[in-house]
Amino acid sequence: MNAKSTKKSISAVLDAMIIIEVHELGIWKHLLNKIKVLVPSTVVRDEALYFDTKKRKNRSAIHLVQSVKSHEIIELAANVEELQNLQGILDYATLGGLHAGETEALALMISGRAETESALFCTADGAAIRALALLGKREYGISLESLLTKVGLQKPLEEQFGEQFFKRHLDRGAQDRITGIGLKE
């Protein structure tokens, strides 16, 4: 379960949206050289299988299973208890707004297994960002823009991958945490 380089200073749990965008930007291999990448099993096996290039309208395969086998990335699978723990904290509406890979990533974040790797959760989904703050883990979130900046791979990005979008959803989740909106009673 080791990534090729264990001396990388940044570890990140990436959701499907981020993996697809990084592939589309053509910087996947560069990112793998800069950070330790952890990916929820659901994303590896079911969610991040291909990307469509915007400019050329071509479909290209994403080979995460091969990246796991070659130790370029680490696959993490949440167990039943970790998923049940998450379901015991977030209300039905909040959980319903999450994709399976985001749900698994959040379960891993609150279980402490991703923290063992000092991992940050990188997503571009507003509901997942809000949920991270609802769970009291806002300091473990990072936008794609910030992640790329930290490793010197700046690229022009759409709004949902930017720091302002990320912070706006984190702030909303932090406010909701205070009032209890989105949490089970």
For residues 76-97, give the mean pLDDT: 97
In a domain, 167, yes or no: yes
In a domain, 3, yes or no: no
In a domain, 101, yes or no: yes
Residue 5 has what DSSP assignment?
Answer: -
Note whether 161 and 124 are within 8 A (CB): yes
| CATH classification at residue 109 | 3.40.50
What share of the chain has pLDDT > 90, as a percent?
A: 79
Distances (CA, A) of 105 to 42, 56, 109, 157, 158: 9, 31, 6, 23, 23
In a domain, 184, yes or no: no
In a domain, 64, yes or no: yes
In a domain, 129, yes or no: yes
- The yes-or-no verdict on residue 4 having pLDDT over 60 is no
What share of the chain has pLDDT > 70, as a percent?
A: 90
Domain count, the chain: 1
User: Where is pLDDT greater, at 59 or 166?
Assistant: 166
- The pLDDT value given to residue 5: 42
In a domain, 162, yes or no: yes
Please give the residue range of the domain that contains residue 103.
Answer: 11-179
Give the C-alpha separation, 65 to 49, whole Å.
10
Q: Which of 20-24, 107-111, 117-121, 148-152 has the lowest mean pLDDT?
A: 117-121
Distances (CA, A) of 81 to 68, 106, 163: 24, 13, 32
Provide the sign of the torsion angle of the four alpha carbons 92, 97, 99, 105, taken in this order.
negative
pTM of the model: 0.90
Note whether 135 and 109 are within 8 A (CB): yes
pLDDT category at 114 given cuts 50, 70, 90 is confident
For residues 62-89, give the mean pLDDT: 95
In a domain, 160, yes or no: yes
